[in-house]
Amino acid sequence: MDLIVTINDAVNNFVWGVPAIAMILITGIFVTVKLDFLQFKNIGYLFSRTIKKAFTKKDEGEKVKGEVTSFQAAMMSISAIVGSGNIAGCATAIVAGGPGAIFWMWIAALVGMATKTAEIALGIKYREERPDGTIDGGPMYYISKGMKCKWLGVFMSVCVIFYAIVISGIIDINTMAVVLDESFSIPAVGTGIFFAILTGICIFGGAKRVGKVCEYLAPFMGGAYILCGLAIIFLNITQVPGAFALIIKAAFTPRGVTGGAVGSMFIAMRYGFARGIFSNEAGVGSAAMVHCNTAVEHPMEQAVWGSVEVFLDTILVCTVSGLAVILSGLWTGSDLDGARLVMAAFDMLLPGNFGSLIVTGAVILFGFSCLITFNTYVERGATFIFGEKCRIFVRIIWVAFVFIGAISGESIVWDIADTVNGIIIFPNLLAIWFLSKELVAMKKEYTDPDIAAYKKAKKELSK
């Protein structure tokens, strides 16, 4: 185990060094400029085309190629990213990097909005339809077809498989097992067996069944957790300005704020970016694997969900967890970390000592939603390498990992998760740079009224 830790630390320090953080920032800024500051200039448009549309025209687009509706795909993606990273990951970032890590999570989110939009657009453009009517897509496809680099697509597929296993097959289910043991003394074995069976029931129904589950689960779980966070803010409103001031000050002067507990500003940046990307997955390319089977006529029609997803995940949900931990003061001077720290913070800040039950419920719902969606990532990676016949085998393996992850230890897995995240972003960000002209063309094609009118007229004439 010591050898694994040593090797992982060496790789981790490299992939999350200055070059990696610079690449994430520069790529996010580059895509933001290329897409004409879409996430900032068109906020009203983004929400009208996503949140508002979701509750008025859920089935729009079902007549075109795709297995799930636009809303279902978005809920699958949100279900995948709103997981243990929003609770346990946020707490570990504060413990390791100080309160300033939250600020750098916000920065990662702001630039990540454009990156994720780009991933979804490319994922839909380069997706492939199988003979059985199913659809496959993701970063491995736009790397292989767009960049014409098959070997890099295979490498990306291997990274995706390992990424999904570590992030959800170990961390998510393990976090669920920890909080259930903490709250109700339920043994990890029981948690593993129960959720392995429940996950199997969902994923063996295919993308449509997973989409249907997420369509109802994601809005409920995210909304409930945010409401509890708002209750904490209102009950402790006089301390909130100080908490925000601490976050900003600690982002640039962590040693002065923490009394030497955190070594440098770079450590706050490192954990903020690492946990931020772990949470919202912008730059990883995972969103392309979920959104690729959406029934839409144009890639940008679905890609606008990217900015909204990152905003909901990191700016809202992660901030709720971060503020709770900082307001409680438990992030320093205690041995608590991860989900246990958030549970203790909620207990302290909410009346009636039922805060831990709220966190437990959130961890279970968030974690289960990840379990049924991360299997999609493994399927995309495996089918790219081995073909569509491996789907059933992958689902069986995934159910097995759900059980194994529940009974595994959690001490090193967060560091391994950071390493996997750091490795997987490099080929994906490289592809986004390489295909940036196509992104600009898709955005112009979708938003330019003259081009849109021409395409609509051409479509009508072809009927």
Residue in 326, 333, 401, 347 with CA at minimum distance from that of residue 182: 347
Alpha helices by DSSP H, listed for 82-171, are: 84, 90-97, 100-125, 139-141, 150-166
CB 137 within 8 A of CB 292: yes
**Residue 463: inside a domain:** no
**Residue 456: inside a domain:** no
3-class state of residue 412 by DSSP: coil
Write out pLDDT tens, residues 307-336: 888 888 888 888 888 898 899 888 887 777
**Residue 416: inside a domain:** yes
Which residue did the predictor score with more confidence, 446 or 421? 446
CB 294 within 8 A of CB 173: no
Residue 233 pLDDT: 86
In the DSSP assignment, the letter for residue 261 is S
Which residue did the predictor score with more confidence, 215 or 271? 271
Residue 214 pLDDT: 63
Checking if the pLDDT of 22 tops 90, the result is: no
Residue 61 pLDDT: 44
* CB neighbour burial string for 221-257, b if at least 16 within 10 angstroms, e if fewer: bbeebbebbebbbeebeebeeebbebbebbbeebbeb
Residues recorded for the chain: 463
Those residues with Cβ within 8 angstroms of residue 214's Cβ, 6 or more apart along the chain or in another chain: 72, 75, 76, 78, 79, 369, 372, 373
**Residue 460: inside a domain:** no
Residue 81 pLDDT: 61
Give the chain's domain count.
1
Residue 208 pLDDT: 65
Checking if the pLDDT of 1 tops 60, the result is: no
AA identity, residue 33: V
Write out pLDDT tens, residues 28-44: 899 999 988 888 877 77
Write out pLDDT tens, residues 192-231: 999 999 888 888 876 666 666 666 666 666 677 788 888 8
Residue in 89, 23, 112, 105 with CA at minimum distance from that of residue 276: 105
Task: Round to whole Å and give the CA distance between 216 and 75.
Answer: 8
What is the share, in percent, of the chain residues with pLDDT greater than 70? 74
Token representation of residue 323: 């503020």
**pLDDT tier for residue 62 given thresholds of 50, 70 and 90:** very low
Task: Round to whole Å and give the CA distance between 331 and 259.
Answer: 13
φ and ψ of 147, to 5 deg: -90, -10
Domain residue limits at 90:
2-444
Determine the average pLDDT of the residues in 286-315: 83
**Residue 41: inside a domain:** yes
**Residue 449: inside a domain:** no
Looking at every residue in the chain, the average pLDDT score rounds to 78
CB 93 within 8 A of CB 414: no
**pLDDT tier for residue 291 given thresholds of 50, 70 and 90:** confident
DSSP letters for 328-384? HTTTSSS---HHHHHHHHHHHHSGGG-HHHHHHHHHHHHHHHHHHHHHHHHHHHHHH
DSSP letters for 167-234? IIIIIIHHHHHHHHHHHH---HHHHHHHHHHHHHHHHTTHHHHHHHHHHHHHHHHHHHHHHHHHHHHH
The CATH number given to whatever domain includes residue 409 is: 1.20.1740.10
Task: Round to whole Å and give the CA distance between 100 and 18.
Answer: 17
Strand partners, 298: none
Residue 339 pLDDT: 74
> Which sign, positive or negative, has the C-alpha torsion 18, 23, 28, 30?
positive
CB 110 within 8 A of CB 37: no
Write out pLDDT tens, residues 117-172: 999 999 999 998 877 667 888 899 999 999 999 999 999 998 888 888 877 787 78
AA identity, residue 394: V
**pTM higher than 0.85:** no
Write out pLDDT tens, residues 339-365: 788 888 888 888 876 777 877 887 787
Count the alpha carbons within 13 Å of 206 in the hemisphere toward its beta carbon: 10
Number of H helices, E strands in the chain: 27, 2
**Residue 212: inside a domain:** yes
**Residue 458: inside a domain:** no
Which residue did the predictor score with more confidence, 455 or 441? 441
